Structure 1
Amino acid sequence: MLAAAQRLRRREDFAATIRNGRRAGRGALVVHFLNPGLSQPGVAPFEGDARSEDGAGTHAEGAGARAGFVVSRAVGNAVVRNAVKRRLRHLVRPRLAELPEGSVIVVRALPEAARVGYHALEQDLDAALQAARRPKSRGERR
């Protein structure tokens, strides 16, 4: 399980990461990576960073990297989706320490994630993270 400070929970945080971050798909998953230090000028990645209306604290600056997971019903029934999420959490946990301070990733599992083995999922995650973190080339959009 990820620590509470390492988890994305708010819809707005997921949306900001998907909208403003870099995307890379490999095999059974897609990774959206957002490094607020390198994001576009004038774009606030998280609108309500200080504190939400219900009093729950959100991500504070300098609190390390965070991760969120999206596993839709297309992946399988609830048992299969939860197994995929557990595998992904286990794979992402050690990789968060390698990410820059304040960065956020959203890992979206594709239906293939339910059928591939642990090591194939690990290779897909590493390749997608590496691609998403790669600097933009001159001709690339966004």
Structure 2
Amino acid sequence: MLAVGNRVRKSADFSHTVRSGARSGRRNVVLYAVKTGENPTRVGFIVAKSVGNAVTRNLVKRRLREAAAQSLREYPTGFDVVVRALPPAATATWQELRTDYMGALRTCAGKVDRTRLLSQKG
């Protein structure tokens, strides 16, 4: 379970992260991340009806929430992350979702850090 301080909750924060964040897609998820300095890492989820019925969507959210909780050990501060579940996530196993989530997060973190370094040089 994610603590309240680790959740993206406001619509404006979702929009900002999706529009201006680094993006990385996998088979089951698309992940957006933006650097937030020394603030705690926050994660938000978008699971649309195209993923499945309410039971399926909630299962996908619970699995992604657990993957996010595990990722906080690696990235405890510095990011706002929004995870969009894609329709194949409905039939994905826990391990597939976790692997896609972690891979996309590492890719986005690398992109964000590279962007920050380039802006400091110029």
- Give distance in 1, aligned partners of 2:39 and 2:19: 22
- Give distance in 2, aligned partners of 1:110 and 1:116: 10
- TM-score, structure 1 as length reference: 0.74
RMSD: 1.7
Partner of 1:2: 2
Q: How many residues align?
A: 114
Alignment of 1:53-132 (within 5 A): 62-99=38-75, 101-132=77-108
Runs ≥4 in structure 1, deviation > 2 angstroms? 135-138
Partner of 1:27: 27
- TM-score, structure 2 as length reference: 0.86
Alignment of 1:6-17 (within 5 A): 6-17=6-17
Residue 39 of structure 2 contacts residue 79 of structure 2 at CA under 8 Å; is this kept in 1?
no
What is the deviation of 1:97? 3.2
Give the SS at the match of 1:32: strand
C-alpha distance 93-100 of structure 1, shift in aligned 2 (>3 A): closer
Question: What runs of 5+ residues in structure 2 fail to find an aligned partner?
Answer: none
Question: What runs of 5+ residues in structure 1 fail to find an aligned partner?
Answer: 38-61
Structure with more of its chain in strand, by fraction: 2
- Identical residues among aligned pairs (%): 42
Larger Cα-atom Rg: 1
- Give distance in 1, aligned partners of 2:97 and 2:73: 19
Structure with more of its chain in helix, by fraction: 2
